Structure 1
Amino acid sequence: MTERFRNNEKNSPYRRGTVKEINEGRIRVTFSDEDETDSFWLNANQSGTGANKSWSMPNVGEQVNCLIDWDGEDGCVLGSCWNKEDSAPSDDPGVEHIVDESGLEIIRDRKSGNITIRNAASVRVEGNDLVVSAETHLGGDGGKAVARIGDHVLVSSGSSAGLWPIVEGSSKVFAVD
């Protein structure tokens, strides 16, 4: 045990504080247990920074867990923590549930494998080729079947009455039964 450790009142590098500001991926935290002392700029832990990257920063005002060196000059923000003002969006340990300040929700149920996206202003999926291999309901459950080129439609009256094939359609949407 070092002299610095023995002489430290708290005997722990762990601190809990409130995010004061964020700049270029670093965070400054205010520690209320130290007379509102502000930290130096701290790195924020991420789940991936190499070939697989992830980026998620806490909001200003959010309560965070930190590890700080004994001199208080270096450290990192480990992550955010739930409290009375900011409660968890779910208490199901089998669910990953993300909610952002716009109200967007992304829910991944690890047991069923289902993913739900709610309240998105828009959803954009980009790629050279998109394959959806499931029953698809556009606009909600209970919609009508979609007609494709080659399908036949019944024209019930007029000079074109009869069963006619669809000969033109979208050049960007394709379907297979």
Structure 2
Amino acid sequence: MTGKILSIILIVSGLVAGISMYYLQVYGFYDEVVAEPGRDVVLMPIGGETPQAIAYSDFQAIDADSSPIRYRACFATPLKPAELAQLYELSEARDPRNAPEWFDCFDAAAIGAALKDGRAQAFISEKNIEFGVDRIVAVTEDGRGYVWHELNNCGEKAYDGTIVGEECPKRPQSN
């Protein structure tokens, strides 16, 4: 009898822990980002150092304090990728990070396919928005836009243990 009770306790504890971890990863850490008109969607001008706002509407975004690469956003814009490419710095990013399923405006597979076959173009929004992380904006031919964070070369080196070179900014001290 004691063995059955202990087995039931272990099974229930495992289920509760599993459900809790799933919830925290998919829902718990994310917060809706409050829109700041004129500041949410910016692109880095060619040869410039200060990002510039572009025209956009229908902005929605999520973020989490638990990781600098959890930011995702969607928006609409009247601008075309070809117009933007003449003024703003292009990005080589072609594989956006997945968003939680409940944030249904951001389909990473569809965005990646559009980037790879030329129906969308990726731009650098802000470099080192956090150490080793750049903000990327992709705009499609039909005026939909997407934003996500991507590790840059310094971030990849820092997080995989490779020695970070002089070209990388100093990493901030953590407490």
Normalization by structure 1: what TM-score?
Answer: 0.24
Which structure ranks higher in relative contact order (CA pairs < 8 Å, sequence separation ≥ 6)? 2
Bigger fraction of residues in strand: 1
TM-score (norm 2): 0.24
From the two aligned structures, give the one with the greater helix fraction: 2
